[in-house]
């Protein structure tokens, strides 16, 4: 599922995310939680979104949704840090 939320920075900068185990046999259990500082991620110059996956889909429900392909993100990261770009082999 995808959940879209809106916020007003800097007033609502923290996103609290909790993951619960809902089943019929036991009580609902909190199995994990985290707090994401949205303002820090938004203002970061490092493109603080998500890490690059080992593989990605070009179509279907789990297709890549960033405006740039992972190869472009990796090339930009290498350029910013004065590193040689990635070498792709078939």
* 54 and 85 part of one domain: yes
Give the sign of the dihedral formed by CA 70, CA 47, CA 42, CA 18. positive
* 11 and 41 part of one domain: yes
Among 17-21, 35-39, 46-50, 70-74, name the one with the lowest average pLDDT: 46-50
* 39 and 79 part of one domain: no
pLDDT tens, position by position, 28-50: 899 999 998 888 877 776 666 55
What is the domain extent for residue 85? 50-90
| pTM of the full structure | 0.48
Task: Determine the average pLDDT of the residues in 51-61.
Answer: 79
Count of structural domains, the chain? 2
Structure tokens at 20: 């619960």
**Residue 59 clears pLDDT 80, i.e. is over it:** yes
* 38 and 75 part of one domain: no
* 43 and 54 part of one domain: no
Give the C-alpha separation, 77 to 90, whole Å: 22
Which runs of E-coded beta strand occur in 1-90? 14-21, 29-37
* 85 and 75 part of one domain: yes
């Amino acid at each position: 599922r995808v959940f879209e939320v809106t916020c007003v920075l800097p007033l609502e900068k923290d996103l609290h995310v909790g993951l619960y185990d809902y089943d019929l046999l036991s009580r609902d259990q909190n199995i994990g939680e985290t707090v994401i500082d949205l303002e820090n991620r938004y203002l970061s110059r490092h493109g603080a979104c998500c890490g690059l996956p080992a593989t990605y889909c070009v179509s279907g429900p789990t297709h890549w949704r960033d405006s740039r392909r992972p190869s472009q993100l990796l090339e930009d990261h290498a350029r910013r840090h004065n590193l040689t770009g990635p070498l792709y082999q078939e």
